[in-house]
A = this chain, B = another copy of it.
Amino acid sequence: MIFPKKIKIRDVTLRDGMQNEPVFVETEHKINKIKDLIDAGFDRVEVTSFVHPKWVPAMRDADLLGQNLPMVPGVEYEALVPNQRGLDRFLKSKIGNAVFFLSASTKHNEANLNKCTDESLKKIKSLVEKTKIEGRRVIGAISTAFVCPFSGHVPYSEVERIAGDLVTFGVDELGLGDTIGKAAPRQVYEYCSRLAEKFPDIPIGLHLHDTYGFGLANVMAGIQAGVHLVDVAQAGLGGCPYAPGAPGNVQASRVVEFLELQNIKTGLNLERLKQLDRSFSQLLRDTEALTKTLQG
């Protein structure tokens, strides 16, 4: 096994951690939390998604948030950009990195984005070009890169084909998502190491869910395969909102403690992450209580 000296950890709490929450957290609270994340040591923070507010109400303040982010040297923000309208909004924001996304599984892509993967790729090609012209960084994110909730096992050939297109379009970085948490280390290791070999100049990030408790084992498998970055969420948010406590994204404090015990540095402050576990959970509880009061 290999144990690198360090690995980059990206926070996705405000995006994937919250996008399915049935409540809207005020922009002001989100900005305070972003400051806390930076204080804890994060320099990559995915803050929102420029989707239509009708689809993801929790992100309806993307414009306001994106224009009022604290600008800190060395800190990169990123946001999901689903289409031209989203790109127009993104380009007016202070967010440096655009994440263009699709699913490796056509069935999931159709369910999620209402088009086949080839249509998504065609659209992403044009969005990447426009974004690069504006001097922003571009990340190509592949969801259901291992297992699809509808069609099961996703073949590696499909992931490589999509990744190859994204690299040709000019993405600066690739991300592979285990959207339903059902990938096991063997698959993570095989897909990531083959991609890393195929595209040696493109950093690969790993987005893991801990649905079945495979998260940390997959972090290690990704590291063995040479991935550069791992996504985390505070308090392990990002599970199903209708199953309280259900595991979501791999939990920041747990991943960091796990890596630091192995002398793999993350640049993050574990004590602050433990505080963030509590403060994010509290923020969601408070917001939920307030929402109920206002509705009632």
Q: Chain A: residues with CB nearer than 8 A to chain B?
A: 1, 3, 182, 184-187, 189, 212-217, 219-221, 224, 254, 257-258, 261-264
Q: Nearest chain B CB to A104's CB is how many angstroms away?
A: 18
Number of copies: 2
CA distance A224 to B3 in the complex (A): 13
Structural contact, B1 and A186, CB atoms closer than 8 A: yes
Structural contact, A1 and B212, CB atoms closer than 8 A: no
Structural contact, B214 and A258, CB atoms closer than 8 A: yes
Listed from nearest, the 4 A-B pairs whose CB atoms lie closest are A186-B262, A184-B261, A217-B217, A216-B217
Q: Nearest chain B CB to A207's CB is how many angstroms away?
A: 18
Q: Nearest chain B CB to A196's CB is how many angstroms away?
A: 13
Contacts of A216 in B (CB 8 A): 213-214, 216-217
Q: Per a CB cutoff under 8 Å, which of B189, B212, B220, B263 touches A217? A: B220
Q: Nearest chain B CB to A145's CB is how many angstroms away?
A: 15
Contacts of A263 in B (CB 8 A): 186
Q: Nearest chain B CB to A71's CB is how many angstroms away?
A: 36
